[in-house]
């Protein structure tokens, strides 16, 4: 679901990663205090405009929402049934704003810049025994694993489709989990072979 960096020379690309991440936190927090459909719709228009500023196509924009459309539909129906369609629309607009904002930051920010910024931000946790380097590594690997797992899922789905069992969730999930665990095990072996986190003494 999460897209990786898309090279560019726009103002959004040149903006420091820390500024963009801080903006995401502030915008995301603010959205939860807004329950006005007009304001949320205006925010969504501004976010869509930011994609144009970053030279992203409409296809790229919709690609960020496509994987969550069924979740959006379920949330809208559930909220509309419980609290009315206005409440359902508010929840959907908030979610779409957040997803598009987070995706835009990922599209315009290199993973290395993001992890360096996060590592700097959590430096104070070192006082309580938390290693910022390890946290940064975990976040970086999690981001990089997303397209890899997506690729594995697509390959397994194609293989299952050829066998005529593409509708079986179990037939899809088990090979994906096994291949993902094998990949994680290989990475762990490679890190160990290179002495990652070895005692400096």
pLDDT tens per residue across span 154-195: 888 888 888 777 677 777 788 888 888 888 888 888 877 877
**pLDDT band, very low/low/confident/very high, at 45 (cuts 50, 70, 90):** very high
| Mean per-residue pLDDT over the chain, rounded | 82
Contact by Cβ (8 Å): 67, 1: yes
Whether 99 has a pLDDT exceeding 80, the answer reads: yes
Where along the chain do its domains lie? 11-109, 124-193
Which residue blocks in 10-165 are alpha helix, DSSP H? 11-14, 17-31, 37-53, 58-65, 69-83, 85-108, 111-121, 132-162
What is residue 201's predicted lDDT score, i.e. its pLDDT? 47
CB atoms within 10 A of CB 64: 22
């Amino acid at each position: 679901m999460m897209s990786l960096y898309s090279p560019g020379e726009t103002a959004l690309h040149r903006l420091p990663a820390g500024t963009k991440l801080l903006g995401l936190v502030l915008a995301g927090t603010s959205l939860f205090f807004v329950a006005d459909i007009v304001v949320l719709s205006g925010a969504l228009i501004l976010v869509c405009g930011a994609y144009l500023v970053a030279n992203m196509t409409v296809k790229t924009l919709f690609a960020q929402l496509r994987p969550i459309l069924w979740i959006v539909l379920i949330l809208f129906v559930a909220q509309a049934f419980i609290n009315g369609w206005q409440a359902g629309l508010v929840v959907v607009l908030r979610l779409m704003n957040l997803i598009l904002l987070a995706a835009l930051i990922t599209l315009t920010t290199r993973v290395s810049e993001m992890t360096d910024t996060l590592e700097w931000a959590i430096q104070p946790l070192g006082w309580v025994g938390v290693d910022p380097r390890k946290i940064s590594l975990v976040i970086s690997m999690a981001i990089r694993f997303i397209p890899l797992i997506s690729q594995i899922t697509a390959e397994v789905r194609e293989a299952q489709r050829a066998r005529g069992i593409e509708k079986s969730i179990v037939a899809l999930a088990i090979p994906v989990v096994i291949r993902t665990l094998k990949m994680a095990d290989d990475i762990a072996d490679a890190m160990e072979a290179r002495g990652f986190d070895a005692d400096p003494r």
